[in-house]
Amino acid sequence: MHETVFDRILRGTLPADRVYEDEDVLAFRDINPQAPIHVLVIPKAKFARFTEIASRPIEETGRFFSAVSKVATSLNLDSSGYRVVINNGRYSGQEVEYFHAHILSGRKLNWPPG
Ligand code: 5GP
């Protein structure tokens, strides 16, 4: 797998506005926010795409999504609500080939998404 900007953020060689970290994940603010709150959550155990989740340990996946929920709670988003987005592959517009979830909030989000 080639190195991505998220590898560098995780390693600490590229600065990021970190909002949460535990043994499984790191969360930081998106550099080009699409909503007033736009946070990215990455697993420390790297893989490139959501597609690969099917062949990864189920406990790892459970811990990842549990952490995404904790990040949203820590940002006080539970009462207002938020959206979790995962882009997978070319048609989704996935730019960074390091699996990640977007947490978006701080405004009423449109549905359907574009
Ligand atoms: P994707 O389209 O792959 O799901 O989303 C990648 C996201 O990473 C984009 O929203 C983009 O703005 C964000 N991003 C790209 N490079 C950087 C960076 O160097 N730092 C941070 N914090 N976010 C980045």
Q: In the chain, pLDDT over 90 holds for what percent of residues?
A: 97
Question: To test ligand 1's pocket by mutation, which of 26, 88, 95 has the most ligand atoms within 8 angstroms of CB?
Answer: 95
pLDDT surpassing 90 at residue 37: yes
User: What residues line ligand 1, using a CB cutoff of 6 Å?
Assistant: 5, 14, 16, 28, 30-32, 40, 87, 93-96
Compute the distance between CA of residue 31 and CA of residue 40 in angstroms, rounded to an integer: 10
**61 token code pair:** 């996946």
**97 token code pair:** 């080939």
**62 token code pair:** 């459970």
* Residues marked as catalytic: 100
Mean pLDDT for the stretch of residues 25-30: 98
pLDDT surpassing 90 at residue 1: no
Count how many Cα atoms sit within 13 Å of the Cα of residue 15 in the half-sphere of its side chain: 1
**53 token code pair:** 């989740």
Q: In the chain, pLDDT over 70 holds for what percent of residues?
A: 100
pLDDT surpassing 90 at residue 114: no
